[in-house]
Structure formats: structure tokens, C-alpha cells
Structure 1
């Protein structure tokens, strides 16, 4: 008899694949699913309010929430926080280059850093619009890529321009995987439950791609945050 199919990407969430606790546990959230203070700034696209995309993604999120292991293993962010990160700004616990600009002291307050970038981003260029599609659903949310090759190029142009403005590029700058986070992992999964998750995730992806082949999102916005529950838009960058 063949073992039930579990993809390599889903198997990565198995307790049998992990000896160490999840990376952000204890700094971003705790084992009760409560989000901790971790201030910073970032550039994101929020979902278009009241759109078909928002409805479909909220439905998909509920499918994950309804799984038996969801509440014990995953810390879910609020619906209002759903977004795609375009470019990662600075954050409290990463204060060295290439996650922090060389020209600013590493002990500069987060509020001062946000003010610093607010001034720099006043001169940010207008860039082409881009559209995104969903390529994968995982226990943590959605993986995205450009709807077309031209969209991939356009969103890369935005990322490169923000890298110039922020004065750093993360090591994964060229290979960054766009995503919409639903949750963070608190406890690794028992391998026995993963085939059920695989079936649900596959069905969820099929439904999403049928309902929203291209996502409706707001333009990129420079935001500040205190934790992963809310991202306050400070500057909105309307595309050409």
C-alpha cells in the first residue's frame, strides 16, 4: 500500500522534520497564539476592501481554521491585517546590515527610522502597476507570483526601487517568495495529520484559483506596525 501523499513543502511542518522550535516563537508570538510587540515598518499591498478577492481569501482562511489542529498549532493574524509584502522594511530584532541601512546607527529608535524613511520615500518614483496570482496554499497562508511574466518584471522593479530607497537588500532579495500570511506555526504537526491537510490545501488552491485568477489588491503602501495584527498605511504609492 502506498503512503498517503504529502508534499515536501508540507512535510517541512512535521515534528519529524524539526528539532528546533519555530523561528519566530517567543519574539513575534507565544504558545497561546498571542502576538508580541515587534515594531517596524514595511511596504505592503492590502486586499481591496469588499472585493471578490477578499471574500475568497477569507473563505480559504476559514478552511484552515476549521482543521482540528489549527487552534493548537497555528497563531492566526486578524483578517484586517491580510496583505502581501512588497518589500521588508526594518524591524526591532534585526538591527544590522543587510537588514538595516549602514548610514543609520543600529540603536536608532523604530519611530525615528520610520520618520527617516517617510522623508526619503517622498521622492519615490511612479512605477507600473502589477497583478498577482496564487500558486500555493500552505498552513501559513498563500504563495503568490506575478499573473504574467510582465507582472513579475514590474513587481521586481518595485522591489529594486525600494531597496535603493531603504539602502539595503536582504540576502533573498532576488529569490523572495511573495505571500499572504494567515498564521504562524506554534507547534510542529504530527506527521499523521498531514495527509488530511494536504487534501484540504489542494482543494483550497483549486477553489481560489478558480474564484480569483488575479488578485484585487490596494496599491503598495509604506506602513508602520507594532505587531503582526495591524499595518498602518502612511504613504500610498499609486502606480503609473
Structure 2
């Protein structure tokens, strides 16, 4: 049985439980979801959030460089095999024109969101970097900080499948830590990374862990929404209930199709 995200978060909702001070940041309730800077020549209101930024309306990938901290989904895992069947099946559906599928080699769970060159806002950019600093120098600074960062515990991270994220921006498997101890470990890690890098994304405390499989190319009509939802629900029973992830990786990316590992986060001796 999947662990309820709301139940886990209610248990761990004590302010400053992980030992991080507010530091003048707004609370998650006050913060708004960060949106990419609109392009003057693109009708963003006609498309889902990331079309025109990460993808063209026809599914062609667009440059969207940045860096992030993720756990790639192991290719020798049963979940990877199951999702590969799902990926191949999604390509054959009548509603396949609604989305662009991500390459299986890119599948991952984001541990900490990192930065995007196209989103230069104080909450989403390291505090030690000027907002107009080149992405390359920002990446170098973050890499140097992470090289000596103490993960404090050894992988794996045990996760539980909790369903699907809402069909808004894309198709994503919703996952939660498999126990309260794992929840504390992951949330505490996010807090320590936030403090180290002096940045805190909106929704930091309530971030929903997930594995993205596709991005929506257009807003769904009722018929497509129902068809895709039913298709995805039918696959849930085919997926393993729990799975494991290895050490977090600091990765750079040019777009959403590939994440190149620069280093692993390690437990320091």
C-alpha cells in the first residue's frame, strides 16, 4: 500500500525540524511557483507551462541549460524495465500526439532542483553568485561546494510508488520515501543543500518527488484526459511497489533529454 504524502508531511511538518533557520525566506504558503521568463514571440498562454521553453509545440527539444542534483533510475531495476514497456506502449497510443516522451536514459528523481540558465531569480540562483553571472561560473562554484559536501549516510534511498502526478505539465510517476526515516533523510538532505548553496526554491518543504516520463505539448481535452488517465492507471498494478535509488549525482544538462554526471555526492569519512 502506498504511503500517503500528506500523512508523511503532516508528521514532519514541525517548523525548523531539520535545523535550518528561515533566513528571511518567505514561507512555502507565501511563495509562488517559479515560472520561466516569457518569450516575446511565443504565445505561452496557448500551451502548457514548459512549451516554448523546453520544447517546441511539435515536440522538438529546445536548449534549456542548467545543473541539478538527481538520482538516475538504475537501468538494471525492475521499475526501469516496467517503465520501458510503458514508454514503448505510450508511443503507440492514439493520444501520443499530446506529449513528447523523454528518453529512458534520462529518467531520474530530482533530489534538489538546482539552476536553469533561463530562470534567474534570487530564490532559484545560488546566493554566492550574481544573477547575471555566466552559467559556467555558477556551475563551477556549485561543483566545488558539492565536492566536499557530506552526504552523511550511504545509499540506497528506498522509495514507494504513490500514483501519478496530475496531468498538467506532463506524465510523471509520483513517488514518496518508503518510511518516515527515509522521508527525514531526503528532506534533511534538501535542507542542507539549500543552506550550502544559499538558495531555496518555492515549495521547498512540500516538494513532490517524481520521475518524469513525458511533457504535455498541448492542453488536454476531456476525452484525451480520460483516455490517458485510464491508460496510466491500468499500468500501476504492473509496477513494483518499492524500488531503490543510488547516490545523488550532480549533473549538468543542455536540455531535458540528457543529464551528464559531474560527480556523486558521498558520505565523507
Q: After TM superposition, what 4+ stretches of structure 1 lie above 3 angstroms from structure 2?
A: none
Distance in 2, matches of 1:61 and 1:169, equals: 33
Counterparts of 1:1-240 in structure 2, within 5 Å, are 20-70=46-96, 72-128=97-153, 129=155, 130-138=157-165, 140-208=171-239, 212-238=240-266
**Alignment gaps of 5+ in structure 1:** 1-18
Indicate conservation of the 8 Å contact 2:67/2:115, yes or no: yes
Alignment partner of 1:182: what SS?
A: strand
* CA distance in 2 between partners of 1:148 and 1:64 (Å): 31
Cα shift at 1:20: 4.4
Deviation at 1:161, TM superposition (A): 1.5
Deviation at 1:195, TM superposition (A): 2.6
Residue 160 of structure 1: how far off its partner (Å): 1.0
TM-score (norm 1): 0.85
Deviations 1:163-201 (A, max 9, x none): 112211112000101111111111112212333222211
Task: Provide the C-alpha distance between the structure 1 equivalents of 2:182 and 2:46, rounded to a whole number of angstroms.
Answer: 37
Deviation sequence 1:15-34 (CA, Å, 0-9, x none): xxxx6421111111101211
**Alignment root-mean-square deviation, CA:** 1.7
TM-score normalised according to structure 2 size: 0.76
Unaligned runs of 5+ in 2: 1-44
Higher deviation after alignment, 114-123 or 214-223 = 214-223
Alignment: residue pair count: 218
